[in-house]
A and B are shown apart, each in its own frame.
Chain A
Amino acid sequence: EVQLVQSGAEVKKPGESLKISCEGSGYTFTSYWIGWVRQMPGKGLEWMGIIYPGDSDTRYSPSFQGQVTFSVDKSISTAYLQWSSLKASDTAMYYCARQSLRSGPPIDYWGQGTLVTVSS
């Protein structure tokens, strides 16, 4: 069974750093792109970008380029999303998601989400 399990909720102060994780299982982790999607409170889905665990090829949305960093650790089938200096506006639910190999390609599996709250 394919699963993406994300790390738990975080409460941080503005200016702090943060790294959240997404562990894939039930499939060949290095063969599928992993994406990150932001959902601010009460708002819609925003595509942040994708990373290919096989070679760490990364594509950021221009809206998020320079604001976040994607990385992977292939040895433990885990993808990461990190911030070096959080802002209050980073408060949101963050989903990791697997990009299918099918025509499209759509997102076929999602993590359960990690809620990040940034408040002084």
Chain B
Amino acid sequence: AQSVSQHNHHVILSEAASLELGCNYSYGGTVNLFWYVQYPGQHLQLLLKYFSGDPLVKGIKGFEAEFIKSKFSFNLRKPSVQWSDTAEYFCAVIGNQAGTALIFGKGTTLSVSS
């Protein structure tokens, strides 16, 4: 069965620290990969997505993610976090035959202290 694993449940950083959130997926075919973010009191919103081409994708607010096919990974990075990045981050995958059925990881809570 398809699955997504996010390694860190809760990450605590100081402002200006670098961020890397791990995401591994299990899926037998071609996949499309997403990172969503949920800021406190707000809707889930898309940070970035990867379908094909350059495996390094850039998203909103300075986030980027790298797709490494051999490792089944799609880690999220940001060189310098801000207090406003405090949120819950979800990695998700869709198979090409799966329509809109996003399979989500359990999420990582990021707390940034100023």
- Asked if chains A and B come from one complex, the reply is no
A residues in contact (CB < 8 Å) with B: none
